[in-house]
């Protein structure tokens, strides 16, 4: 079975600030993806891109999509209400290219997250709230 070419768009640093150190994504999401036999991850860190370019990251990521191998899917994790987050324009561009778009919301709650989820639902390929029984079944299926 060939691996899924997964583009991960996420933050590199806690709260987008280099001086705060690596974000939780570095050891939670990235480590998990890297040891799996399911995906071949490639990372674009929007806070790092913003720090280098001092602009929204949309154009840089779109340029990357134009110059690299098309990903099979894109996974996005945003920072709570942060100025370095990509805009909906980027997500619309990804969807228009026919690339499946997935959003992950770890450690997220509050009004901004609820509104952002509602706003982005139309762009995501699937939005599903899992029941406890469904999650237990998934865990049972993938236990080693």
Q: Structural domain boundaries of the chain?
A: 4-142
| 9 pLDDT more than 90 | yes
Percent of the chain at pLDDT > 90 equals 23
Range of weakest confidence among 1-10, 42-51, 113-122: 113-122
pLDDT of residue 89: 92
Could you report the per-residue pLDDT of 77-101, keeping only the tens digit for each?
888 888 888 999 999 999 999 888 8
> How far apart, in whole angstroms, are the C-alpha atoms of residue 40 and residue 2?
9
Q: What is the pLDDT of residue 86?
A: 92
Q: How many CA atoms lie within 13 A of 141 on its CB side?
A: 6
Instruction: Identify the weakest region by mean pLDDT among 6-15, 110-119, 127-136.
Output: 127-136
pLDDT at 66 over 80: yes
Class of domain 4-142: alpha beta
Cα gap 64→46, rounded to integer Å: 12
pLDDT value, residue 140: 67
Q: What average pLDDT does the segment 111-131 reach?
A: 72
Q: How many residues does the chain have?
A: 144
Token pair 């509050």 is found at 110
Classify residue 7 as exposed, middle or buried by CB count within 10 Å of its CB (0-12, 13-18, 19+): buried
CA dist 60 and 88 (Å) reads: 14
The model's pTM is 0.78
Q: What is the pLDDT of residue 138?
A: 63
Percent over 70 (pLDDT), the chain: 85
Query: Residue 1: its pLDDT value, please?
Result: 60
Contacts of residue 4, defined as CB under 8 A and 6 or more positions apart, other chains included, come to: 38, 39, 40, 72, 73
């Amino acid at each position: 079975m060939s691996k899924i070419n997964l583009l991960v768009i996420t933050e590199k640093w806690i709260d987008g600030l280099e001086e705060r150190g690596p974000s939780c994504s570095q050891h939670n999401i990235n480590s998990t993806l890297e040891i799996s036999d399911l995906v071949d991850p490639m990372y674009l860190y929007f806070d790092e891109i913003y720090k280098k370019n001092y602009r929204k990251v949309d154009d840089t990521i779109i340029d990357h999509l134009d110059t690299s191998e098309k990903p099979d899917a894109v996974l996005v994790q945003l920072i709570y209400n942060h100025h370095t987050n990509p805009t909906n324009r980027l997500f619309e561009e990804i969807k228009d290219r026919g690339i499946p778009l997935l959003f992950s919301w770890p450690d997220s709650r509050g009004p901004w997250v609820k509104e952002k989820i509602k706003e982005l639902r139309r762009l995501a390929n699937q939005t599903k709230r899992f029941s406890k029984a469904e999650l237990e079944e998934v865990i049972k299926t993938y236990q080693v």
